[in-house]
Chain A
Amino acid sequence: MTTTGKRTLLGYVAFCGLILVLPFLLRGNSYLLNKSALYMALAMATVALSFTWGYAGILNLGQAVSFGIGAYAMAMHLKLVASAGNPGGLPDFMTWNSVGTLPLVWTPFHSLLVSVILGIGVSVLVSTLIGWFIFRARISGVFVAIITLALLVVVNLVVVTEQGLTAGWNGITNLADVTVGGVDIGSYGFGFYYLVGITLVVVLLLGWYATRTKTGLVLRAINSNTQRARYLGYDVAAYETFAYASSAGVAAIAGMYYAVGNSFASPTFMAVPFSLSIVIWCAVGGRRSLIAAAIGALVVNAIQGALSSDLLDVSNLVIGALFVIIVLFLPEGIVPEIGGAFRRIWTSLVGYSGARPHTPKERMPGQGTSKFTGGQK
């Protein structure tokens, strides 16, 4: 492995180590553990976005749709569990909306396994269809962004309107805790935290691996010059759809954790400001690097969480200003820029960066000198 590859792996190891150790730093404070788990779920969605945006060049402004599908799938299951004692097993909001019997769409969600599969599956299916619809027509760039944004608005409208099915604007509240094989996972303890944390680590490692395969290389090729990738014979639409759909699947998992952690699923999880926030976190951290995107999500949310507790109104100002500054001056995101700055300091201090000259047979996918590399990891 090259030095850059080694450094990246070191970064990943450090990050994973931090995740494992954090609960002890927080002295087991259940509120903070829950918050951290929620932030990690958001980081997961951000990592997924980085895969499509940073690597494949698809700016998906509707990431919240996939996230929301996962969240609602989990919420529907937990709501049914919590409503088991009601007449007909009917969730309370359905009674308020004069719905007589459980709608057919809800019946599969009695089982946790089926709900998880459906959450991920529906999200992947929907994005595959959308991807097919968009990418087959060779829509790219700005228009993809506009279409995904418009779709998000439509989905949000439908969810808010269909109150009998989705509890509308209120969201689905009052969820039971998750029980797997009789064990109550709860959302405020070490169990939930590690569940989310380990999933995040797995997602990061899988994503890192994916970017180093041929598929990752092709995606980056598509990003840097779509026409050329097409001329070289690659089915661009298929690769783009793959990136879009796998990202949607991961976002759905993140959404499920988010619903469990909040004990709540709300249409705000599927709304424009939230979806654009995911984009912000990704840009702030570093869109071209999965781990940078995760860090971006964690840092921005931590700042926002802390600020909005103490100083009432300033948090939004800070986030808005931060975002503009990042886009203008640090377009690759904070993590790559800081990493680059450290490397320059190291080089000027030590005199060399420790990298060996590349010989052709050592060249790894993604380490080439041509424009096929979209930048660092």
Chain B
Amino acid sequence: MFSFGTLLSGLSIGSILLLVALGLAIIYGTMGVINLAHGDFLMIGAYATWYLQKYWHMGLIATLPVVFIVGCIVGLVVEKTVVRYLYRRPLDTILATWGISILLEEAVNLGAGSNLKYVQLPGMLSGDWVLFGAHVGVYRILIIGIALALLIATSVLFFRTDFGLKVRAVVSNPETAEGHGVNSGLIYAATFAYGSGLAAFAGALVAPIKSVSPTMGIHYIVDAFLVVVVGGVGSLLGLFVSAGIIGEMESIIGFAIDDTTAKVIIFLAVIAIIRFRPQGLFVSKVRQPS
């Protein structure tokens, strides 16, 4: 049950969770926006990859930066037209982003059709390695690596750069930050765009091993949310630990019993955690407004 193979699968599942949840965590942690359309930004990323592959004949890796930018643009549009007006109304952002989610799904459904799309994996990535007697797909290892790299890059971005400093200032106290010359509207827009770009990027990465359909987002959004909330709002370390724990639980329980029981147990555990420790496992390093 605790074979290395199961543990590796857990890391793989956790890394996908981390990828999806990272963008969500950024947006939620910075602006308190619960973006129910996050799963659909992921879906758009997957479709963008498919489109680039099919009509522009780009390889998977080449599409990644383009898809990131596409995600940023879509996020920017959504922020400027809808989300911007709802910053002080967190419950309303849930509703509005759900409406956007419906719109995006329907738009893709009408535009690209509802039948599944096929995203190709480059040949050299579709094999498998044997590590300590356990087989693991090369591509899955790549995803784990990319997820970690993105996490580190995001940490650097938010804690070591000027931009990150501005973001943290705006999160703690928007009025004071503005008083220091920080354009909070711009910061919010940029952060939302970054989070959406991450979602699209994640979509492009998972597309080859899952299935690409207009409703693929739903499967990820609830899981991603739980990861964020368990990890603790505003804590990237918490996100990392939370994704890892949930991924491993899913793999181990899924192997020992079955996937559905795994999901039920995980959800109940998360509900308990939220109830007894709503701030999450780790406390944010950024001072939150009270």
A residues contacting B by CB (< 8 A) are 59, 61, 133-134, 137, 139, 141-143, 145-147, 149-151, 153-154, 157-158, 161, 272-273, 276, 279-280, 283, 313, 316-317, 319-324, 327-328, 331
Contact = CB atoms under 8 A, between A and B. Distances in A.
A270 to B, nearest CB: 14
Contacts of A272: 218, 222
B95 A280 contact: yes
B100 interface: yes
B225 to A, nearest CB: 6
Nearest to B275: A137
B241 interface: no
A327 B271 contact: no
13 contacts: A142-B90, A143-B229, A143-B278, A146-B274, A151-B271, A154-B268, A279-B95, A279-B98, A316-B105, A320-B102, A327-B92, A328-B82, A331-B92
B94 interface: yes
Given A139-B274, A151-B271, A280-B95, A161 B110 contact: no
Pick the 9 closest A-B CB pairs, nearest first.
Answer: A320-B102, A323-B99, A320-B103, A324-B99, A327-B96, A316-B106, A317-B106, A154-B267, A161-B260
B86 A150 contact: no
Contacts of B229: 143, 146
A35 B175 CA distance: 52
A316 B102 CA distance: 7
Nearest to A148: B271
Contacts of A283: 95
A26 to B, nearest CB: 29
B66 to A, nearest CB: 27
Contacts of A59: 91, 94
B109 A313 contact: yes
Interface string B206-224: 0000000000001000100
B263 interface: yes
A167 to B, nearest CB: 16
- For the complex, would chain B's binding face be called helix, strand, loop or mixed by DSSP majority? helix
B103 A328 contact: no
A280 B276 CA distance: 30
B260 A321 contact: no
Nearest to B229: A146
A149 B260 contact: no
A151 B264 CA distance: 9
Contacts of B222: 149-150, 153, 272
A331 to B, nearest CB: 6
Given A59-B94, A161-B260, A320-B103, 16 more contacts: A137-B278, A139-B274, A141-B90, A146-B274, A147-B271, A150-B270, A150-B271, A151-B267, A154-B271, A158-B264, A316-B102, A320-B100, A322-B99, A323-B95, A328-B96, A331-B89
B25 to A, nearest CB: 14
Nearest to B228: A146
Given A59-B94, A283-B95, A147 B106 contact: no
B198 interface: no
Contacts of A279: 95, 98
Interface in B58-116: 82, 85-86, 89-92, 94-96, 98-103, 105-107, 109-110
A319 B101 CA distance: 11
Nearest to B98: A276
B222 to A, nearest CB: 6
B136 to A, nearest CB: 28
Given A157-B263, A272-B218, A272-B222, A321 B99 contact: yes
Nearest to B94: A145
B264 A154 contact: yes
Contacts of B202: none
Contacts of B249: none
Interface in B210-250: 218, 222, 225-226, 229
A133 B276 CA distance: 10
Given A316-B105, A321-B103, A327 B95 contact: yes
Nearest to A161: B260
Contacts of A134: 275
Contacts of A331: 89, 92
Contacts of B102: 316-317, 319-320, 323
B260 A320 contact: no
Nearest to B109: A313
Interface string B248-288: 00000000000010011001101100111010000000000
B90 A327 contact: no
Contacts of B278: 137, 139, 143
B109 to A, nearest CB: 7
Contact of A147 (B95, B109, B263, B275): B275
Contacts of B90: 141-142
A161 B257 CA distance: 13
B105 to A, nearest CB: 7
A128 B34 CA distance: 27
B126 to A, nearest CB: 32
Given A143-B278, A145-B94, A317 B260 contact: no
Nearest to A154: B267
Q: Name the residue in B101, B222, B229, B271 with the highest tally of chain A Cβ atoms < 10 Å from its Cβ.
A: B271
Nearest to A160: B260
A59 B80 CA distance: 26
A55 to B, nearest CB: 14
A328 B103 CA distance: 15
B95 A142 contact: no
Nearest to B260: A161
A320 B102 CA distance: 5
Contacts of B103: 317, 320-321, 324
A157 B260 contact: yes
Contacts of A161: 260
A330 B133 CA distance: 61
